[in-house]
Structure 1
Amino acid sequence: MACTAVVLCAMGLLGGTATAAYADPGPGPSPSRGADRGAGDGEGGAKGAGKGADDAELSPGLKRLEDVRKKIDALYRKAEKATDAFNGAKEQVERQQKEIVKLARNIDATQRKLTALKKQAGALASAQYRGGGVPSEAKLMLNADPEGFLDNATLARKGQQAAKTVMHQLARTKGDLEDYSESATDRWEQLDANRKKKESAQRDIKKKIDSAKKLESRLAAKEKDRLKELEDAQAFKEQQKWLDSGVLKDINNKASRTGKKAISYATSQIGKDYVWGAEGPDTFDCSGLTLRAWQAGGTTIPRTSQEQWRQLDRVALKDMRPGDLIIYFSDASHVGMYIGDGAIVHAPRPGRQITITGAGSMPILGVVRPDK
């Protein structure tokens, strides 16, 4: 944390060091910032790397670069939305594969049980055949020995009960087998559909990332540096708006014991590359980082930022504490971990590394807490 404090001071007012890989470029007001629009909304632009100029006041060269920045930003945001869809489909595929394996085992065990019951039913039929096909009730009536009559009555009652039990079990087992087979068929169909979703999302991600990289590759080295400055300036501007709202005066909670472990893990990954769909240990996407960080803290959380938003406990912004997860954008397509003093650690986007940036540099959807 001391190291983090030094980094934050060096950043100056916690201005962002990198914008995130966002999802749908459509605008959406942040619940925590009213009508303020976040970084990458496609409107407003950057202020010339901190020079305070609007788009209309930029030089032609800088205006072109700002347009490129917006296009690249939009492509990466769409790629991250597709990444979330990919991760969700991947989770479903893995879950359905496990369910199919379980069903296959149930089918195998039930089939063996059915075979054994059929043998029992066959043995009963054979016994009746060997008895000449005479019903047991008739044999009882024909027995002149009173003791033999009683013995036969007991045996007949037990035989009838055993036969009924076997036939009942046989019918129920056949029904179970049919149910398991139908469920397995349904799971296979769902698995096939989700595999197709996963493959489609993967193609979509690759297409958008390749397009963004192609745009960036056309820039000269100096232009690439300038592009990074424009990204930083936009993030800094949005963070400054957030800080100017006075939001930090109400946020002074301390991290929990498990939260400290999660923060320690997340901050130790700073400098590692963002790779879509990655969960570590060498590369991460945004939710892959928060997943592993909280696993290191001893808590298992959902894989994707959207599921983290749906399933984890939500807390008010003023009650936020270090270790909590901030979910960004109206579609919950990005996530960062709050580390205190108005900053987050997150995996921004392809082509960038895990870094510390301002918590208000993107439009906040809400805050969730992995531990109680």
Structure 2
Amino acid sequence: MTRRHWAAAAIVLVCAVTLSAVPATTAFAAPGEPTPPVAPPLGTAGTAGTAAGSAGAVGSPVAGGKTLEQVRLEIEDLYHQAVSATDAYNLAEEQADRQSSEIVQLAKEAARAQQRIDDLKDAAGTAARAQYRTGGLPYEARFMLTDDPQLFLDNASRLAQGQKATKDLLRDLKQARSELDTYAQNAGTHWKSLEAQRQRMADAKKRVATKIAEAEKLEARLEKEERARLLLLEKQAAERAQTAWLRSGALKEVKGTVSAEGGKAVEFALAQVGLPYEWGAEGPKSYDCSGLTSKAWAAAGVTIPRTSQEQWRQLRRIDMKEMRAGDLIIYHADASHVGMYIGDGKIVHSPRPGRTVTVTGAGANKILGVVRPGA
């Protein structure tokens, strides 16, 4: 590979893929998850549901002949799909960044190998010029022709050393060329992988945008009163799920004491309450679900994977009875959402598009398991 090609390879490394990402959801039912019981309409005068009006009643047809509860579940499912695609995007972005860094390193190593080849060639050229000046024989070899026995013996070792140096030079040159070829092959492999990651990012970004647009379009077809009722239904569903979770005795034996690092992570996460959800965001003005948890733990001096799926895959899993503030609760069968446990059966998390970082019941969504960052 020529130096010009390596220059191009070095430029590649600076081309880090920067796209935006998408996040995880909060009050969504995972695919295959049982539908929560339908909340009764709140339509009596003086009750909390009066403002929503009878048009928003759970069993009354609203958009497209569907009930408001059906619309709510459909919107949640669309956002859940968007969140899953967000995690795929975030993972592809993380891997693309790693591939870019590896290409940069390979370019540096290749440059060093090329410089070594140039130095060896210069050394070989110097030896060849010296040999030319002495009539085709190395300087030491001329002493081999002398009639003086002592001079012959003194310089025999010099000749042997010169021959060894020549062999070493040729060996080093061959090795340097081999290393350069290896770096070139590895760079090509990493480049192909980088291109594949970028394509996966583009595909995931498209899926995210499509699902969010579908959900927003569906919600936009509702009247103002119906949208207010939709928020109420969402809150009621979360409260029912949380109540059922607490009644199951899930927290009965939880006695974990927060660590110093966990306390710092919780403090950081709670300070973000009220900031908007934005898919692929890692702060400081907006977050997706795993962007919040990864940055919170980074603030505590602990680096964890960027995505909820990788957090579930790589971090240490613990039994719920050992759970303590700062631990991460992973949600849904596909590990597409994550929240940080803050104690008292609650989490702080960034739910989904159109919502903000908030504190809610830890059992409001289907729990997959609990993981713990740090030692």
* TMscore range, shorter length: 0.7 to 0.9
> TM-score scaled by structure 2?
0.84
Does residue 167 (structure 1) correspond to residue 159 (structure 2)? The answer is no
Q: Which moved more, 1:58-67 or 1:221-230?
A: 58-67
1:49 Cα shift? 6.4
2:67 corresponds to: 64
Give, in whole Å, the separation in 2 of the partners of 1:113 and 1:45: 72
Mapping 1:1-372, distance limit 5 Å: 20=26, 22=28, 25-27=30-32, 37=33, 41=34, 43-48=35-40, 58-61=58-61, 64-134=67-137, 139=142, 142-372=145-375
Give, in whole Å, the separation in 2 of the partners of 1:22 and 1:187: 37
2:15 corresponds to: none
Q: Which moved more, 1:118-127 or 1:91-100?
A: 118-127
1:151 Cα shift? 3.0
Q: Quick check: 2:59–2:69 contact (8 Å CA) kept in 1? A: no
CA distance change for structure 1 residues 141 and 253 in 2, over 3 Å: closer, same or farther? closer
Q: Quick check: 1:328–1:364 contact (8 Å CA) kept in 2? A: yes
Q: Which moved more, 1:144-153 or 1:228-237?
A: 144-153
Give, in whole Å, the separation in 2 of the partners of 1:179 and 1:45: 61
**Following superposition, which runs of at least 4 residues in structure 1 exceed 6 angstroms of deviation?**
135-138
Give, in whole Å, the separation in 1 of the partners of 2:58 and 2:275: 34
Q: Whose RCO is larger (CA < 8 A, sep 6+)?
A: 1
- Aligned-partner residue type, residue 39 of structure 2: K
- Provide Cα deviations, 1:253-289, integer angstroms capped at 9, x if missing partner: 2211111111111111111111000001110000001
Q: Which moved more, 1:83-92 or 1:233-242?
A: 233-242
Give, in whole Å, the separation in 2 of the partners of 1:105 and 1:217: 53
Q: Quick check: 1:46–1:231 contact (8 Å CA) kept in 2? A: no
Give, in whole Å, the separation in 2 of the partners of 1:164 and 1:226: 85
**What is the RMSD of the two structures over their aligned residues, measured on CA atoms?**
2.1
What stretches of structure 2 of length at least 5 have no aligned partner? 1-24, 44-56
How many equivalent residue pairs? 335
Give, in whole Å, the separation in 2 of the partners of 1:50 and 1:319: 40
Kindly, what percent of the aligned residue pairs are identical?
49
- Provide Cα deviations, 1:201-239, integer angstroms capped at 9, x if missing partner: 111101111111111111111111100111111111111
SS in 1 for 2:290: helix
Q: Which moved more, 1:304-313 or 1:120-129?
A: 120-129
> TM-score scaled by structure 1?
0.85
SS in 1 for 2:359: strand
- Aligned-partner residue type, residue 280 of structure 2: G
SS in 2 for 1:368: strand
